[in-house]
Amino acid sequence: MFDVITSQGIAFEYTFTVALYCILEEERLIYVSHGKYVEAGEVQSHLDKLFEFEVSLRHRILHSKQTRDLINITKAHDDQYEAFNGDWGTFEQDFEMRVDRSITSMRERHASSNLDHRRRFEMEAKKKPPLWSKELKEWRKKEKILAYQENYAEAQKVKTISDAIEEEERMNINANSDGIVARKEANIRQQQEAEIRALTKRINAQMEANKQKRELDCKRLLQRNHNIQAALKSKHAIEGQRQFACIEKDVQKEISQLKPLCLSRVF
């Protein structure tokens, strides 16, 4: 931009093209004053081209400004969208870590609980008196009678038979007790697996809800950004139509403001 001070002391700002226009306008006036109309016509042709160039240049400048504005807001939206996805990615990673900790914690509690249950079941089984068969009770009774009668040889034989029967029954009782303990542990494990499935179901439901929310928020953000860009483009279109119509008038006005200076220099 250049500053020119007129004879009235008024300052105007104008472009290089307008400054050149002023110089050529002086030449045109000089040719006209000397009767050189052919030369004046050639200069006038250059003046017309300069005028068209200046108008076109200002159109391009306005368009470039609008394009920069659109690029800047698009970049801002892209940065916002990237940050949005980054925040969601961090949230999902944290959620998955919390899920892993929850499942691991539940399985550890189950394992510790299983040990406690096993100890309790075994203690209950040991405290419970064995239920001997009627046959064993008869043999023990016979053993005591023979011992009371001091028939120790026969008592020893009966005791050997009674011990063998008791050992067999004890093994059966222990096996039955182990089976009971195993069934109780199996029932507890089934309950625990049901708890794990319920927890997993809640986690999957929450993950699906998070996914849907992310998709919905993403669509809303993209739609919001699209609306802002559409509004900016509409604003640019209206602004462009208004300013494009004014540009030619502005250039004509600037030139008309400089003509008195050109006339003062020539005449």
**pLDDT tens readout for residues 64-122:** 888 898 899 889 999 999 999 999 999 999 999 999 999 889 888 888 888 877 777 77
- Per-residue pLDDT at 265: 55
Phi, psi of 116 (to 5 degrees): -65, -40
pLDDT-derived band of residue 208, with 50, 70 and 90 as boundaries? very high
Alpha helices in the chain (DSSP H): 16-33, 37-127, 134-148, 152-266
- Per-residue pLDDT at 97: 92
- Alpha-carbon distances of 187 from 62, 156, 183, 193, 249, rounded to whole Å: 79, 46, 6, 10, 92
pTM, two decimals, is 0.56
> What contacts 158, CB < 8 A, 6 or more positions away?
139, 142, 143, 146
- Alpha-carbon distances of 10 from 7, 26, 32, rounded to whole Å: 8, 19, 27
pLDDT-derived band of residue 147, with 50, 70 and 90 as boundaries? confident
- Alpha-carbon distances of 76 from 62, 70, 89, rounded to whole Å: 21, 10, 20
Q: Position of tokens 């559409």?
A: 230
Joined tokens for residue 155: 């008592």
The whole-number average pLDDT for the span 212-219 is: 92
The whole-number average pLDDT for the span 20-44 is: 86
Q: Is the dihedral of CA 234, 238, 243, 245 positive or negative?
A: positive
**pLDDT tens readout for residues 165-175:** 888 878 887 77
**pLDDT tens readout for residues 190-205:** 888 888 889 899 999 9
Contact criterion met (CB below 8 Å) for 99 and 136:
no
